[in-house]
Amino acid sequence: MKIAVLGAGLVGLASAHALADEGHSVLIIDREGPAAGASRGNAGWLAHTDIDPIAHPKMLRQVPKFLSDPLGPLAIRREYLLPILPWLARLLIASHPANLARSIEALIALQRLAMPAWAQLSARLGMEKMMHRNGGLFAFETHDAFREALPHFKRQEAAGIRVEYLDGPEVRRMEPALSDAIAGAAFFPDAGHVSDPYLVTMALYEAARARNIDFLQASVNAIDLDRGVTLRFDGRDPMVVDRAVIAMGAWSKPIAASVGDPVPLDTERGYNISFPGSTRYIYRPISFQGSGFVATPLDTGLRLGGAVELAGLKLPPNHARTRAIYKKAERFIRDLPSFDQGTVWMGFRPSIPDSLPVIGYSTRSPHVVHAFGHGHYGLTQSAATGQIVADLIAGRQPPIDLSRFSPQRF
């Protein structure tokens, strides 16, 4: 069977491998090349221990504080206020306790598949050394803020996730570069991070090419289902395939609509700065709670990043935001390299208001499978999504209930 995977990010590439494992002839199509989207520069955190949708009251309670700071962890660009309103309305609906409980349950189910799937994929492709399992820290500036977050960590424990609670000196023994501004932290021993998301994405791509998965650089603008599955491109002839997988991250919306699924996909833009070669600061990813950024010790250098900016796909980046992240980080991490020594980046998280990706058959044809919208967790969930995509293409029952991920759930 000839299967086109649209998008050469982590989700598309992991899906391509899972499909090739089943003996299919796979063609990956990307308008730019591998690792052109969010997969290129994300924070690198294997965050399967996170189980909170963004619509969680814990997050929503902080919205007024965040919005009052134009360079704070959450911003809505004025020009994008109107277009994002329907998405925000859905975010509120997703925060209703009954909806939230269902989203958390679904998120836990997918997160449980994440690490076994990565272990399998990385072992299959000889990428084990790119996966680090040093745990992750959620650090707090005040004892009050730490105490307030405890019920949340208890819920994670109830879901079977290991958590240890550390005071300031214990955190600094673990991470000597952290300053006295940290009062305590929750430690997740089973969390992990990758060597560098770009290197991981490229390793998946190169392994794909080595096993005869084809690649085509072309921009897909629609899928036509009148006769089989016909891919339509900008500036080149259409192509007929047996099956197609839509894995174009934040850009999937119009293609999903062309197969009958008008999904509420938008983007939460994120910013970061990386310091190539600065590898000796911290040993595990650290999320600085209340400040809205994380620090990750990539093999290629320290990366500081985060923030959510609702501004769509077209407006130019605002790296004053990256500078604001750096300024905050200076309070928490000793002796950082200067801002000018870093490389800045902005990426587009593909985000659905309920924080669950869209995985399932298109409304108009079981020959088209959706696999996009992974928001904050696309690196973490990519290998598991690939396995589910292969199940769907084979007509097998996936290991988790996909109704909460369905493209028809909206």
Ligand X SMILES: Cc1cc2nc3c(=O)[nH]c(=O)nc-3n(C[C@H](O)[C@H](O)[C@H](O)COP(=O)(O)OP(=O)(O)OC[C@H]3O[C@@H](n4cnc5c(N)ncnc54)[C@H](O)[C@@H]3O)c2cc1C
**Residue nearer to ligand X on the CB measure, 168 or 229:** 229
Residue with tokens 């998008």: 7
Nearest CA among 399, 357, 407 for reference residue 377: 357
Q: Which of residues 6-25 bind ligand X (CB under 6 A)?
A: 6-12
User: What is the signed CA dihedral for 101, 102, 104, 108, rounded to 10 degrees?
Assistant: 140
User: Residue 379, interface with ligand X (CB under 6 A)?
Assistant: yes
Calpha distance 45→137 (Å, rounded): 11
Residue with tokens 């214990």: 170
**Residue nearer to ligand X on the CB measure, 59 or 250:** 250
Query: Taking CB under 6 A as the rule, which mask of x and - marks residues 193-232 in contact with ligand X?
Result: --------------------------xx------------
Contacts of 116 (CB under 8 A, 6+ apart): 384
Backbone conformation region of residue 289, classed left if phi is above 0, alpha if psi is from -120 to 50, else beta = beta
Using the CB atoms, write b or e for 355-383: b if 16+ within 10 Å: bbbbbbbbbebebbbbbbbbbbbbbbbbb
By CB under 6 A, the count of residues binding ligand X is: 41
CA distances from 118 to 16, 17, 141, 261, 277 (A): 14, 12, 33, 29, 26
Distance in Å, CB of 170 to ligand X, minimum: 24
Contacts of 161 (CB under 8 A, 6+ apart): 49, 51, 188, 190
Nearest CA among 376, 372, 381, 342 for reference residue 114: 381
Distance in Å, CB of 203 to ligand X, minimum: 14
Using the CB atoms, write b or e for 9-20: b if 16+ within 10 Å: bbbbbbbbbbbb
**Residue nearer to ligand X on the CB measure, 104 or 265:** 265
User: Residue 31, interface with ligand X (CB under 6 A)?
Assistant: yes
Nearest CA among 130, 142, 136 for reference residue 161: 136
Distance in Å, CB of 354 to ligand X, minimum: 15
**Residue nearer to ligand X on the CB measure, 213 or 247:** 247
Distance in Å, CB of 155 to ligand X, minimum: 20
Distance in Å, CB of 57 to ligand X, minimum: 22
Distance in Å, CB of 6 to ligand X, minimum: 6
Any bridge partners for residue 272, and if so which?
305, 345
Kindly indicate which of the ranges 118-126, 247-255, 328-336, 395-403 contains the residues binding ligand X, using the contact rule CB under 6 A: 247-255
User: Residue 30, interface with ligand X (CB under 6 A)?
Assistant: yes
Are 303 and 379 within 8 A, CB to CB?
Answer: no
User: Residue 245, interface with ligand X (CB under 6 A)?
Assistant: no
User: Residue 42, interface with ligand X (CB under 6 A)?
Assistant: yes
Q: Which of residues 285-324 bind ligand X (CB under 6 A)?
A: 305
Calpha distance 188→192 (Å, rounded): 9
- Considering only 291, 374, 386, 402, the residue that binds ligand X (CB under 6 A) is 374
User: Residue 372, interface with ligand X (CB under 6 A)?
Assistant: yes
**Residue nearer to ligand X on the CB measure, 11 or 20:** 11
**Residue nearer to ligand X on the CB measure, 168 or 253:** 253
**Residue nearer to ligand X on the CB measure, 30 or 52:** 30
Calpha distance 236→79 (Å, rounded): 34
Distance in Å, CB of 374 to ligand X, minimum: 4
Distance in Å, CB of 308 to ligand X, minimum: 9
Measured from each CB, the residue nearest to ligand X is 378
Which residues form the interface with ligand X (CB under 6 A)?
Answer: 6-12, 29-32, 36-39, 42-45, 47, 219-220, 247-251, 270, 272, 305, 347, 349-350, 372, 374-380
